[in-house]
C-alpha cells in the first residue's frame, strides 16, 4: 500500500473498495495479464504551446490480437476508464488492439491503486513503481519546473529497457526544453 499514501487516498484499502478492485474478473488475472501484455509508459509529445515545448504523457497500455481482444473489453469494464483502439492504425499487417488509460485522475484513482494492491511479479513491477512516482510528481506540478521536467524525463528514460526503443533521445528533449527556457529569459 506504499503508493496509496503518495496520492493521499481517502479510500481505505479493502476487498470491498470498488475503486481499487475491478469487478467481474479476478484481479490477480488482470495483474498477470498486464505483466505479460501490458506496459506503463511515459511518452513525450512536441507541443509548441507549452513552456518547455514538450508534453509529458503517462500511459497505461494493454495490447492483444483482435481475435482475443474481448479480454481488453473485460479489463476496460473492470477499471471503468480508458479506451480500446487499434494499436498501429494504418499498418495493414498489424491486427492488435490496445486498451489505453491516459487520464491522470484515472491513473491516480484506479490504475495505480490497483497495481499497488495486486503487484506484478516480473521486472515490469519496477517500471510501474517509477511510473507511479512520475504521476505523483506531475500531480503535484513538479514537471512545470526545469528541475522537475529534467528529473521526470530522466526517470521516464530509465523505464522499459532504458529507453532503447524510443523514437527520440533524452538529449533531444532536454536540449529543446533548455533552449526554450534560455530564449524566454533573453526575450
CATH for 2-186?
Answer: 3.10.28.10
17 compared with 137, residue with greater pLDDT: 137
Cα 44 to Cα 42: distance, rounded to the nearest angstrom: 7
Is the predicted pLDDT of residue 139 greater than 60, yes or no? yes
Is the predicted pLDDT of residue 71 greater than 70, yes or no? yes
Phi then psi for residue 161, to 5 deg, are 80, 25
- 108-110-116 Cα angle (round to 5): 80
- Lookup: cell for 141: 506540478
Judged by average pLDDT, the poorest of 17-31, 84-98, 114-128, 141-155 is 17-31
Contact 61, 98 (CB under 8 A): yes
- Lookup: cell for 154: 530522466
Kindly list the domain boundaries of the chain, sorted by start residue.
Answer: 2-186
* Strand order through the sheet with 54-65: 38-46, 54-65, 96-101, 83-86
59 compared with 183, residue with greater pLDDT: 59
- pTM value? 0.80
Phi then psi for residue 56, to 5 deg, are -100, 125
CA 119 remoteness from chain centre: 15
Distance in Å from the first CA to the final CA of the chain: 47
E strands, 69-178, are 83-86, 96-101
Amino acid at each position: 500500500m506504499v503508493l496509496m499514501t503518495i496520492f493521499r487516498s481517502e479510500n481505505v484499502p479493502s476487498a470491498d473498495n470498488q475503486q481499487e478492485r475491478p469487478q467481474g474478473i479476478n484481479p490477480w488475472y488482470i495483474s498477470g495479464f498486464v505483466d505479460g501484455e501490458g506496459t506503463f509508459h511515459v511518452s513525450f509529445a512536441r507541443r509548441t504551446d507549452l513552456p518547455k515545448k514538450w508534453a509529458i504523457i503517462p500511459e497505461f497500455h494493454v495490447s492483444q490480437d483482435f481475435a482475443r481482444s474481448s479480454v481488453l473489453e473485460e479489463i476496460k469494464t473492470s477499471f471503468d476508464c480508458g479506451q480500446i483502439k487499434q494499436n498501429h492504425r494504418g499498418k495493414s499487417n498489424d491486427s492488435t488492439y490496445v486498451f489505453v488509460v491516459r487520464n491522470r485522475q484515472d491513473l491516480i484513482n484506479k490504475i495505480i491503486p490497483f497495481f499497488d494492491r495486486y503487484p506484478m511479479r516480473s521486472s515490469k513491477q519496477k517500471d510501474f513503481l517509477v511510473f507511479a512516482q512520475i504521476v505523483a510528481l506531475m500531480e503535484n506540478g513538479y514537471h512545470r519546473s526545469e528541475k522537475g521536467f529534467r528529473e521526470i524525463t530522466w526517470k521516464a528514460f530509465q523505464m522499459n529497457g532504458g529507453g532503447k526503443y524510443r523514437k527520440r533521445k533524452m538529449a533531444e528533449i532536454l536540449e529543446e526544453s533548455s533552449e526554450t527556457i534560455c530564449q524566454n529569459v533573453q526575450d
